[in-house]
Amino acid sequence: MASIHKGVQAMIEIPEEVNHILNIVKAKYNLKDKSEAITKVVMDYGIELLEPELKPEFIEKMRIVRKEKGIKFKNIEELRRMTGG
């Protein structure tokens, strides 16, 4: 069963430069209208802004950390003594 998404209608005023950029995005991604272009730009930016752990730099950092040797300890008290915590 397909989900139905209702959109929110909004009248917005944008600078001419932004309008030009939206037209480029619309053409580049073969979108139907500027509404789809706005959605694409916002979603792409939102992913970058809200999910930094998906950035290639973060993934590479986690690969490096994964290869590092860990600290062995028997219980939390021993770990606290070893780390000064």
- Stretch 27-41: mean pLDDT, rounded? 94
pLDDT band at 5 (very low <50, low <70, confident <90, very high): low
Note the pLDDT of residue 57. Answer: 81
Compute the half-sphere exposure of residue 26: CA atoms within 13 Å on the CB side of its CA.
13
3-state secondary structure at position 85: coil
Q: Taking the model in full, what pTM does it have?
A: 0.54
Question: Which of 57, 64, 24 has its CA nearest to residue 40?
Answer: 24
Domain boundaries, the chain: 16-83
Question: What are the tens digits of pLDDT across the range 14-27?
Answer: 999 999 999 999 99
Which tokens hold the place of 79? 């770990």
